[in-house]
Chain A
């Protein structure tokens, strides 16, 4: 479904991506792990149209996307979230959710001017859906608050919720749990589990190995801009190359299995 091959990206002489390749199948849940600076976020940006690779090929559903504009990639059903989502000051939480909805009538100037009734009907359905989703994410009481005013963790949930409003077929999540408190982390994990169960593929860039082990069937490990291995999350600690990449084993328990949620590599 999503396939990256030999993706390269250089920033001022540094090879952020040096021939990274991976493949994610329909409905899979994949972890993307690796030490800081290994190129995880860069790869995610390349796969979502936010960054043009210098070389390599990225396809989604057989379509080349590495030179596509980000909104076109999102339009194909491949959506991303941000590590540090910047949220608008003058839009409410509910409005951010609605921005994520595919409202074709409301997005047309002509229809907005000439058929406001039809636009309002389309929007009313989206409002119901957004409120239900906010409720499941424990954010409904904040629906009319400015999105920039809610906590960082809540903003991360909101950014996931807004992406979900577009019913993506695959979600690329950039460190979804970083800066999120344990309670909200549980809400987030539960939401992602349900989304995955409903058939949406997930690619999760994450330092919390417990979180990855909970949600993902398989992991890609990045180091110095290349994928060094792919394995089940439980096998990570026993892979010598992974251990070397991280220069240590502190994230893993004595038995070699990842610690529970909260342990960070």
Chain B
């Protein structure tokens, strides 16, 4: 039981970091990124490939974050050419492209076999000890990313992003470089997702193409929607709740006796139902974005 909860806690923290990144893009700026898993995957694969070639893990991690920032720049530049909806489709396609490249470039990524040489952290602490240490690490990184996200959009930049989300022409008329703002928020958030991906590769000591499946993107989206688009606290709550729910669905097979294949499908269905339910009945999420009132004294 404790091990289960610890595992959920670590994964919720790691995916929570990605959810913070997605929230900056989708929640604050209105960028419908359906390829967020690409940034996560870049980080994870940089760590995996780095470990195959004997690179020190911090270096691989850093390279992954830099590559993700570059990818963010590319995604952002693409945004100046495409309207919102087409951009959303393009992000989905780009993420799928990355997965297919990972699946099919055997020399670089070991294809479907994946890479399992990423250095495991905290390995001398026993199973529970390792998980506790991981929870502390991932929780601290999540808190740091949340703090950076919060601070970065606390002032004018955040207002620019929200104005881009709600009334893009007005933002442009008020002297805000709309494309530049989108690029900057992507470059800020993509390395967060890559960092989470890198830590994930270390945590499960494995990275394969299936970790880049579109389902991961929708899991992250569910976390953001359930928690509350545009609300950092909400997104963290959403990450833990959705990951807990998703973790529990692993036992559908044990409890109900439904075949393993069917219960794997059911797990996805539960997440989908959760997303749909919130979109229909509580679109603002558990902790809705609040209005930022400014008092005369401040």
Contacts and interface: CB of A to CB of B under 8 A. Distances in A.
A50 B169 contact: yes
Given A95-B294, A163-B174, A86 B155 contact: no
B163 A120 contact: no
A75 B171 CA distance: 12
Which of B152, B167, B298 counts the most chain A CB atoms within 10 A? Answer: B167
Contacts of B163: 88, 91, 96, 99
Interface string B146-176: 0010011111110110110111011111111
Interface string A92-127: 101110111111011111001100100110011001
Contacts of A107: 155-157, 160, 176
B296 interface: yes
B289 interface: yes
20 contacts: A50-B169, A69-B177, A74-B174, A74-B175, A80-B173, A88-B170, A90-B166, A90-B289, A99-B160, A107-B160, A107-B176, A109-B152, A112-B153, A112-B157, A113-B151, A116-B155, A120-B155, A143-B294, A144-B291, A162-B170
A123 B296 contact: no
B interface, by DSSP: helix, strand, loop or mixed?
A: helix
A175 B112 CA distance: 62
Given A112-B152, A116-B151, A88 B167 contact: yes
A85 B175 contact: no
A87 interface: yes
B26 interface: no
Contacts of A15: none
B166 A98 contact: no
Interface string A46-89: 00111000000000000000000111101100011110011111
B169 A71 contact: no
A30 B235 CA distance: 50
A159 interface: yes
Interface of A: 48-50, 69-72, 74-75, 79-82, 85-92, 94-96, 98-103, 105-109, 112-113, 116, 119-120, 123-124, 127, 131, 143-144, 146, 159, 162-163, 165-166
B189 to A, nearest CB: 11
B292 A91 contact: yes
B170 A71 contact: no
A86 B167 contact: yes
B132 interface: no
B155 A100 contact: no
Given A109-B184, A163-B173, A165-B174, 17 more contacts: A50-B169, A69-B172, A71-B172, A74-B172, A74-B174, A86-B167, A88-B165, A90-B166, A91-B292, A94-B294, A95-B294, A103-B155, A107-B156, A120-B155, A143-B294, A162-B170, A162-B174
A26 to B, nearest CB: 20
Contacts of B155: 103, 105-107, 112, 116, 119-120, 123
Contacts of B153: 112
B147 to A, nearest CB: 9
Nearest to B185: A109
Interface residues of B, number: 36
Nearest to A124: B298
Given A82-B173, A163-B173, A127 B294 contact: yes
A113 B172 contact: no
Interface in B163-206: 163, 165-167, 169-179, 184, 188
B89 to A, nearest CB: 24
Contact of B148 (A50, A71, A89, A113): A113
B170 A86 contact: yes
A147 to B, nearest CB: 9
B156 A92 contact: no
A158 to B, nearest CB: 10
Nearest to B162: A91
Interface string B270-298: 00000000000000000001011110101
Interface string B30-54: 0000000000000000000000000
Contacts of A85: 167, 170
A144 B294 contact: yes
A116 B156 CA distance: 11
Contacts of A88: 162-163, 165-167, 170
A134 B165 CA distance: 24
B209 interface: no
B230 interface: yes
Which of B155, B174, B293 counts the most chain A CB atoms within 10 A? Answer: B174
Given A90-B162, A90-B230, A100-B174, A127 B298 contact: yes
A79 B156 CA distance: 19
A113 B148 CA distance: 7
A99 B174 contact: yes
Contacts of A98: 156, 159, 294
